[in-house]
Chain A
């Protein structure tokens, strides 16, 4: 289990990670979500002992990363697919990593096989495509057969087949009881991969929980069509719902269930042609949750000036 306690990282005057306290559990895929620049990578680097927290702590099964006996056998990480020397072959890159943790040579060939890079193992890693680089990074993470795995934006640059492979691969690792912690800025990707999610914005924890709870907690709306839309709208407003007229015959009712809308229509003797509950998508929920914390956003999306 990875435990972050009041984890904070400050660079000069910028707070990259702000008082983050979460436990990352084994046996599930935990998605780490946030817009670009929200502090995901900084958090990952602090877990790996690369960056020193300004305050607070990170522990791996109760220990500091630097105190792990064989780090690669306990924690495997893909932090940046390009974090290797481009002049070295994939195999030599993995051989040098294996040597640091006394991992046998044959494991190098095993992981190359797992990620499907056996045929290009002797090619310079610098000539790899981004997708092949990601696979090599994943191979490096698997080298020590660790119980805890961290992946920072692993699907970047993968083709659809690769994305699907990674998704199933992560689920497989979690089902073996491992801790799988995956960051992404794409909610749609996490919806298909993660069981739990941790959402951060501007370094602060926004939400933590089961991914299914996230959608259920979102307030839905109801789309209703009626020849007497005006009258229905007035009645619903009177009942205390938010009503938005989409056009002359159709309304969107916020904060209401379809039962409530149907009952109001019945009480007022108004005919309905359509009554459809609108479930907020995960994407919508994510946008809503992080709307205030997007570091850089297109002007059409928000009028709020950031910094």
Chain B
């Protein structure tokens, strides 16, 4: 037994806090059903359409299997934000910090629980989505992607990582803004609204910025095809990870200075 409170003791407490809330379980159920369910539905619709048209369209088997991830991004963003904003909304942050006053370690323990949970759940569900999609595609005789192909393996396995990184962006926003509504609003603006606005701009202005947007980076991580204006999948992962680490680190600096 250690001689003082530690990252391990706080992580254990954060895990108890996470698993003892019904909302955590509901969020995970929503996340899984959106990703797997919509992935299957969209794959089914596209594959059928493709088969009906006699195969004269381009077809990206991974893009349709993992289509549910687009919606999952928002679920994990909200989940990440609520980890912090929930503490402020209920004022339980005071009880938490009175029990565990080492603030940086407190935040890291929350990050550990969020990352580990979403990585396990996220990876499991992207592979399930992939296999369901693969089955549907095979039954319609449309092109499939095999996991024996390194690029396919990478695209699918990055799906879980993508969700983890986006949840950390949500967490960082929650840590900085402390209000659920504010954190979610900024998250949606950055992920959904900003890319649309940038697309309206003349492409010579919009495109150089667009490739740096989290939405394009997360898409770039799981794409088999790559257009000229996006970064490669590994670069997308690294840039998105740097955003996540940067935002959470900034949040920690403020968190250490502010009154609880």
Look across to chain A and name the residue whose beta carbon is closest to the beta carbon of B17: A96
Closest Cβ of chain B to A120, distance in Å, is: 16
**Residues on B facing A (Cβ under 8 Å):** 1-5, 9-10, 12-14, 16-17, 20-23, 86, 90-102, 257, 259-260
The size of the chain A interface, using a CB distance under 8 A, is 35
Are B90 and A96 in contact, with the CB atoms below 8 A? no
Give chain B residues whose Cβ lies under 8 Å from the Cβ of A198.
none
Q: Are B259 and A52 in contact (CB under 8 A)?
A: yes
Task: Assess the B260–A100 pair: CB atoms within 8 A.
Answer: no
CB <8 Å contact, A68 and B101: yes
Contact B101 A45 (CB under 8 A): no
With known contacts A85-B86, A100-B9, A51–B98 Cβ distance under 8 A: no
CB distance from B249 to the nearest CB of A (A): 20
Contacts of B20 in A (CB 8 A): 88-89, 92-93, 95-96
> Which residues from 20 to 37 on chain A have a C-beta closer than 8 Å to any C-beta of chain B?
none
Q: What 3 pairs between A and B have smallest CB-CB spacing?
A: A92-B20, A99-B13, A69-B4
Q: Which residues of A contact B22 (CB under 8 A)?
A: 87
Describe B's contact surface by its main secondary structure.
helix
A92, B16: Cβ atoms under 8 Å?
A: yes
The distance from the CB of B181 to the nearest CB of chain A, in whole angstroms, is 18
Contacts known (A80-B94, A85-B86); A101 close to B21, Cβ less than 8 A: no
Chain A: which residue is nearest B1 at the CB level?
A102
Known: A92-B20, A96-B13. A66 touches B101 (CB 8 A): yes
Contact B97 A50 (CB under 8 A): yes
Picked from B3, B21, B101, B257, the residue with its CB within 8 Å of the CB of A85 is B21
Q: A83 and B94 in contact (CB under 8 A), knowing A70-B5, A100-B99?
A: yes
Assess the A84–B98 pair: CB atoms within 8 A. Answer: no
Q: List 13 A-B contacts (CB under 8 A).
A: A72-B98, A79-B95, A80-B94, A82-B91, A83-B92, A85-B90, A87-B21, A96-B14, A96-B20, A99-B12, A100-B5, A102-B1, A140-B95
A15 at the interface (CB under 8 A from B): no
Distance, CA A49 to CA B5, complexed state (A): 16
Expressed in whole angstroms, the minimum distance between the Cβ of A46 and any Cβ of chain B is: 9
Separation of A88 and B92 alpha carbons in the complex (Å): 11
CB distance from A287 to the nearest CB of B (A): 31
